[in-house]
């Protein structure tokens, strides 16, 4: 185990440049080993096999022409084949007497050796396929030779016999020539492979090294770092991905700063007010029940504001930690929507807001009721906060084949196109929010987290100056 760990850490310490270079060299070595093995070890076998095949082909040609050609033509064919294939050819009649004879080999195994040719003829007759292939050494020259023999005409009643003799000599010298040639080529190619691989490994590693340097800068918090991925597709993709990560990091960083600024601002104001009104009660209005109640009311409202902020942060961190499990229950959606709208009765009556509810047939849905309640509550709360001067909010339930579509519409200023993709992000709050708009910038992030956890579709349609419609679909 320890050894593996060591090996791994050693492996990850080798620079990419060196690794690529090493693989190139390894590849070159493998290629050369294969080349040498094939050339030197198998050349002889390959050569012999080829010679045997050539002899068999030649024999077939001769035996096919034996009956069809006239004597002159046949003799010409024999001498042509003998010259072309470096052969010694002997055609014998059925009694073993020589009919035709061609010799380009000089010292061969068949010419002028009737005793031996007779033995070969007997071997041909005895063999199953009426054919012999012998590899033998010429006793005088000590060269390796191939002797090929077959019948002419009908194998059961042969018209005659054909004997071919080819030399297997050149292999030894060829091998040594090839060896020398290979050595030169090998040395030359190894040097070239060495240089090319060095060059290539540098080219391949360069963008990675460059990107790593930029990534180090990014890690230190420099969000203006540029990633240069020029080189090849993968390095370009890596650079693009890092640029995207950088943009996201920078955005989250700015948002986090904004949140801290927003949250501390939102905390400071109610806390100051709490302190001020508590002091007022202590010093001034303690004995005046009307004033005291008024001040206490403000203290209660501010405490609510604080509790809202703290709860939102807590809920979101729970949802995003992934530890939050859904607890699905079945309930009627229309009833639930009316119930939530009723909760806004106080504020709508006090401040003149009207929430219009258009229900559809009450269907049963199955989801985490507490969390979905929070989604609907946040959407209506936002609609009230951001609706126009007419203070109208519309809540609609529309039953569809895929589920229940819930829409919350307001008549406010609407949201700019480029802001739409940001509003569901954590900590995002429009810069121009007013103090009377109670919010933490976390409401829609909670909506998004809950709907994602349920795997429900959601979105927003908005027209500048006319209002926005937030929607989601509870799957049925
Ligand atoms: P907040 O507490 O600021 O309302 P949210 O997460 O609920 O936080 O909303 C984020 C931002 O999205 C808001 O600051 C606001 O700019 C925008 N927004 C949300 N709902 C609406 C709406 N109905 N109309 C216009 N803008 C909205």
- pLDDT tens string 118-140: 888 899 989 988 889 888 887 77
pLDDT confidence band for 438 (50 / 70 / 90): low
pLDDT confidence band for 310 (50 / 70 / 90): confident
Ligand 1 probe mutation, 255, 443, 467, most atoms within 8 A of CB: 443
**Residue nearest ligand 1's atom 8 by CA:** 441
CA of 83 to the centre of ligand 1 (A): 98
Kindly report the number of other CB atoms within 10 A of residue 141's CB atom: 14
- pLDDT tens string 180-230: 888 888 888 888 888 888 888 888 888 999 999 999 999 998 889 999 989
Q: Do 309 and 184 belong to one domain? A: no
Question: Cα separation of 148 and 169, whole Å?
Answer: 16
Whether 368 has a pLDDT exceeding 50, the answer reads yes
- pLDDT tens string 387-418: 999 999 999 999 999 999 999 999 999 999 88
CA of 370 to the centre of ligand 1 (A): 21
Q: Which atom of ligand 1 is nearest to the CA of 439?
A: 2
CA of 294 to the centre of ligand 1 (A): 30
Last residue of a domain, one of 301, 319, 337: 319
**Residue nearest ligand 1's atom 24 by CA:** 386
132-141, 166-175, 332-341, 355-364: segment of lowest average pLDDT: 166-175
For the Cβ of 355 lying below 6 angstroms from any atom of ligand 1, the answer is no
Q: Do 262 and 207 belong to one domain? A: no
Residue 373 confidence (pLDDT): 92
Residue 175 confidence (pLDDT): 67
Residue 182 confidence (pLDDT): 80
Domain tally for the chain?
3
The DSSP bridge pattern shows strands 467-475 and 458-463 to be antiparallel
**Residue nearest ligand 1's atom 14 by CA:** 429
Q: Do 201 and 63 belong to one domain? A: yes
**Residue nearest ligand 1's atom 19 by CA:** 382
Helix pair 71-85, 43-68: axis angle to 10 deg: 170
Q: Do 72 and 186 belong to one domain? A: yes
For the Cβ of 440 lying below 6 angstroms from any atom of ligand 1, the answer is yes
Question: Cα separation of 102 and 80, whole Å?
Answer: 9
Q: Do 299 and 347 belong to one domain? A: no
Last residue of a domain, one of 319, 344, 375: 319
Residue 435 confidence (pLDDT): 42
| Average pLDDT of the residues in 419-429 | 78
Whether 3 has a pLDDT exceeding 70, the answer reads no
To the nearest whole number, what is the mean pLDDT of the chain? 84
Residue 2 confidence (pLDDT): 44
Last residue of a domain, one of 270, 304, 319: 319
pLDDT confidence band for 112 (50 / 70 / 90): low
Q: Which atom of ligand 1 is nearest to the CA of 383?
A: 23
Q: Do 151 and 183 belong to one domain? A: yes
- pLDDT tens string 265-299: 767 777 888 898 899 899 888 788 888 898 898 88
pLDDT confidence band for 355 (50 / 70 / 90): very high
Q: Can you give the CATH number for the domain in which 423 is found? A: 3.30.565.10
Q: 279-288, 438-447, 466-475 — which one is most confidently predicted on average?
A: 466-475
Residue 48 confidence (pLDDT): 79
Q: Do 315 and 347 belong to one domain? A: no
Q: Which atom of ligand 1 is nearest to the CA of 414?
A: 25
Q: Which residues of 400-435 are buried (b: 16+ CB within 10 A; e: fewer)?
A: eeebbbbbbbbbbbbbeeeeeebbbebbbbeeeeee
Residue 434 confidence (pLDDT): 46
CA of 423 to the centre of ligand 1 (A): 6
Q: Do 411 and 278 belong to one domain? A: no
- Whether residue 228 is contained in a domain is answered as no
Ligand 1 probe mutation, 374, 423, 440, most atoms within 8 A of CB: 423
Residue 54 confidence (pLDDT): 87
For the Cβ of 433 lying below 6 angstroms from any atom of ligand 1, the answer is yes
| Alpha-carbon separation of residue 148 from 54, 105, 151, 406 (angstroms) | 10, 15, 11, 94
Q: Which atom of ligand 1 is nearest to the CA of 433?
A: 14
Q: Do 281 and 339 belong to one domain? A: no
User: Model's pTM, two decimal places?
Assistant: 0.49
Residue 469's beta-bridge partner residues? 409, 461
Q: Do 276 and 146 belong to one domain? A: no
For the Cβ of 427 lying below 6 angstroms from any atom of ligand 1, the answer is no
Give me the domain span that covers residue 450.
326-475
For the Cβ of 281 lying below 6 angstroms from any atom of ligand 1, the answer is no
Whether 440 has a pLDDT exceeding 70, the answer reads no
Question: Is 99 in a helix, a strand, or coil?
Answer: strand
pLDDT confidence band for 172 (50 / 70 / 90): low
pLDDT confidence band for 144 (50 / 70 / 90): confident
Q: Are 399 and 332 in contact (CB under 8 A)?
A: no
**Residue nearest ligand 1's atom 26 by CA:** 415
- Whether residue 214 is contained in a domain is answered as yes
Residue 360 confidence (pLDDT): 94
pLDDT confidence band for 338 (50 / 70 / 90): very high
| Average pLDDT of the residues in 87-109 | 84
Question: Cα separation of 245 and 218, whole Å?
Answer: 10
Q: Can you give the CATH number for the domain in which 271 is found? A: 1.10.287.130
Whether 80 has a pLDDT exceeding 70, the answer reads yes
Ligand 1 probe mutation, 309, 320, 386, most atoms within 8 A of CB: 386
Q: Which residues of 87-117 are buried (b: 16+ CB within 10 A; e: fewer)?
A: bbbbbbeeeeeeebbbbbbeebbbbeeeeeb
For the Cβ of 386 lying below 6 angstroms from any atom of ligand 1, the answer is yes
**Residue nearest ligand 1's atom 13 by CA:** 429
- pLDDT tens string 229-254: 898 898 999 999 999 999 988 878 88
In terms of pLDDT, which residue wins out, 173 or 392?
392
- Whether residue 2 is contained in a domain is answered as no
């Amino acid at each position: 185990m320890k050894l593996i760990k060591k090996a791994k850490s050693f492996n990850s310490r080798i620079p990419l440049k060196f690794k690529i270079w090493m693989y190139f060299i390894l590849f070159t070595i493998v290629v050369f080993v294969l080349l040498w093995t094939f050339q030197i070890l198998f050349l002889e076998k390959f050569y012999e096999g080829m010679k045997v095949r050539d002899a068999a082909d030649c024999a077939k040609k001769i035996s096919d022409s034996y009956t069809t050609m006239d004597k002159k033509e046949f003799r010409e064919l024999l001498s042509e084949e003998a010259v072309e294939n470096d052969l010694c050819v002997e055609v014998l009649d059925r009694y073993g007497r020589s009919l035709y004879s061609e010799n380009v080999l000089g010292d061969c195994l068949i010419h002028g050796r009737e005793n031996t040719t007779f033995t070969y003829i007997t071997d041909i007759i005895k063999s199953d396929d009426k054919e012999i292939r012998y590899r033998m050494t010429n006793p005088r020259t000590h060269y390796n030779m191939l002797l090929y023999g077959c019948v002419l005409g009908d194998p059961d009643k042969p018209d005659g016999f054909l004997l071919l003799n080819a030399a297997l000599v050149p292999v030894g010298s060829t091998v040594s020539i090839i060896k020398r040639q290979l050595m030169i080529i090998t040395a030359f190619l190894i040097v070239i492979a060495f240089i090319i691989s060095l060059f290539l490994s540098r080219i391949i590693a360069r963008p990675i090294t460059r990107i790593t340097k930029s990534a180090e800068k990014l890690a230190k918090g420099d969000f203006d770092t540029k990633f240069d991925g020029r080189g090849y597709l993968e390095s370009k993709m890596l650079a693009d991905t890092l640029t995207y990560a950088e943009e996201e990091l920078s955005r989250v960083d700015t948002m986090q700063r904004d949140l801290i600024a927003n949250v501390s601002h939102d905390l400071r104001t109610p806390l100051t007010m709490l302190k001020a009104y508590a002091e007022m009660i202590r010093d001034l209005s303690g004995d005046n029940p009307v004033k005291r109640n008024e001040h206490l009311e403000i203290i209660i409202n501010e405490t609510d504001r604080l509790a809202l902020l703290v709860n939102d942060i807590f809920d979101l961190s729970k949802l995003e930690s992934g530890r939050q499990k859904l607890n699905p229950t079945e309930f009627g959606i229309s009833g639930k929507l009316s119930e939530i709208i009723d909760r806004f009765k106080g504020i709508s009556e006090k401040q003149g807001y009207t929430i219009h509810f258009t229900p559809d047939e009450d269907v049963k849905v199955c989801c985490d009721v507490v969390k979905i309640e929070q989604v609907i509550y946040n959407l209506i709360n936002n609609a009230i906060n951001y609706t126009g001067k007419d203070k109208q909010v519309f809540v609609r339930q529309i039953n569809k084949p895929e589920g229940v579509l819930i829409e919350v519409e307001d008549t406010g200023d609407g949201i700019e196109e480029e802001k739409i993709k940001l509003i569901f992000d954590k900590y995002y709050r429009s810069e121009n929010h007013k103090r009377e708009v109670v919010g933490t910038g976390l409401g829609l992030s909670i909506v998004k987290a809950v709907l994602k956890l349920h795997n429900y579709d959601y979105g927003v349609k908005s027209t500048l100056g006319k209002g926005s419609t937030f929607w989601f679909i509870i799957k049925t």
